[in-house]
Amino acid sequence: MLFLIVFLFVFVYFLWQFSQLDHDLEILWALKFGKSISTFKGKVIWITGASSGIGEHLAYVLATTGAKLILSGRNESKLKEVAAQCVSIGNYDETNVMVLSFDIIDRQCHQKMFDKVLHHFNRLDILVNNAGRAQRAWFAEIDSEIDHQLFEVNVFGLINLTRIVLKYFLEHNPNGQFGVTSSTAGIIGSPFVSSYAASKHALHGYFESLRNELGRKGIGITLFCVGPTFSNILYNAFTGKPGEIARQIQPRTSNRMTTDRCAYLMACALANKIDQAWIARHPILLTHYVSQYMPQLFRKIAPKYFSERMIRQLRDLN
């Protein structure tokens, strides 16, 4: 009887602890017993999509460690503001932060941009593929041109840059790393964002295949499966019509993780070379576990659970 009481107490305690998490159990272990993000000190890290949102705040987190940064995106003036903030946070010389403005879909310039990185820092240790755009629309209302445009940004441009950097890692830095900003939509068939979800699923296909190709070569790949986070990503999101922009302003609500918290968890996952990092609050985090470990059950309950009204409540219009 005493054993049963103790077991129930421990079970309830761990259940309560799990309900408080905004990340998976592997990140929890890394936070308590793993490597500190201070391991990034002196590392050369390239972040795409660094002018705002998660990429911007990841730059700030990494600046606290003394990492050397390359910040890329389309908005050069905003990148310079982020760079100045990083210099202030890191309390180091301006030459430790490089601004490299370009559009990720311009694949012809990727090699040139990478050559500039090597010319400035003489090496690269980590590429964080964070550039991307969101999308909101019903499946039946999406013009096929949106699919093409979204994949150009979220997949093809990113993969092209990765291949260029990969060749360098294989020849000159066998301990190099890739960080890839995916989404909960990358592992769950999220409704009302089908084109976006497809692009994130594609990233998983590419990078999980690459992981298996690399075998034990030492090059790390971390996929960040991020849930609802407060950022401006929806303001420039695609809809279902070419040329139309969502221009949604996200409310600051309890259902969203702050960008600085998300960025810190991403940095922790990257420092500990976690293969796939789930970063989300409940109930989104719980759906990750159910879909992963009880897929048949998930497929039965998901169509009833994922009504448009429910999804909007979970995302707070995300």
Please measure the distance between the N-terminal and C-terminal CA atoms of the chain and give it in whole angstroms: 48
For 253-279, write each residue's pLDDT tens digit.
556 789 999 999 999 999 999 999 999
Look at residue 226 and tell me whether its pLDDT is greater than 70: yes
Triad 142, 179, 155: Cα angle to 5°: 25
pLDDT at 250: 63
Highest mean pLDDT: which range of 76-85, 179-188, 243-252: 76-85
**Number of domains, the chain:** 1
| Residue 97 lies in domain | 23-315
Q: Does some domain include residue 3?
A: no
Q: Does some domain include residue 195?
A: yes
Please give the residue that has the higher pLDDT: either 254 or 204. 204
Q: What is the CATH number of the domain that holds 32?
A: 3.40.50.720
% of the chain with per-residue pLDDT over 90: 60
196 in catalytic set: yes
Look at residue 249 and tell me whether its pLDDT is greater than 70: no
Burial annotation 41-77 (CB, 10 A radius, 16+ → b, else e): eebbbbbbbbbbbbbbbbbbbbbbbebbbbbbbeeee
Contact between 100 and 111 under an 8 Å Cβ cutoff? The reply is no
Catalytic residue among 13, 92, 168, 196: 196
Ranking 15-19, 66-70, 238-242, 282-286 by mean pLDDT, the lowest is 15-19
Whole-number average pLDDT of the chain: 88
Look up residue 233 and give its two tokens. 């990503």
Q: Does some domain include residue 16?
A: no
pLDDT at 75: 95
**Residue 316: band (very low, low, confident or very high) from pLDDT cuts 50, 70, 90:** very low
Backbone angles phi, psi at 180, to 5 degrees: -130, 120
pLDDT at 318: 39
Q: Does some domain include residue 4?
A: no
Look at residue 77 and tell me whether its pLDDT is greater than 90: yes
> What's the predicted TM-score (pTM) here?
0.90
Q: Does some domain include residue 11?
A: no
Could you give the CA distance from residue 15 to residue 71 in angstroms, rounded to a whole number?
40
Backbone angles phi, psi at 48, to 5 degrees: -90, 155
Single out the residue of 9, 58, 10, 15 nearest to residue 179, CA to CA. Answer: 58
Q: Does some domain include residue 124?
A: yes
CB proximity list for 86: less than 8 A, separation 6 or greater? 59, 60, 62, 63, 69, 71, 97
Q: Does some domain include residue 14?
A: no
DSSP-assigned letters across all residues of 42-102: T-EEEESS-SSHHHHHHHHHHHTTT-EEEEEES-HHHHHHHHHHHHHHHT--GGGEEEEE-
Q: What residues form DSSP beta bridges with 180?
A: 129, 223
For 106-161, write each residue's pLDDT tens digit.
999 999 999 999 999 999 999 999 998 888 888 889 999 999 999 999 999 999 99
pLDDT at 317: 38
Please give the residue that has the higher pLDDT: either 215 or 270. 270
Could you give the CA distance from residue 160 to residue 60 in angstroms, rounded to a whole number?
26
One-letter amino acid at 79 equals: L
Please give the residue that has the higher pLDDT: either 29 or 92. 29
Helical spans, DSSP H, in the chain: 2-19, 25-33, 53-63, 76-90, 110-121, 144-151, 157-172, 194-214, 259-271, 284-293, 295-305, 308-315
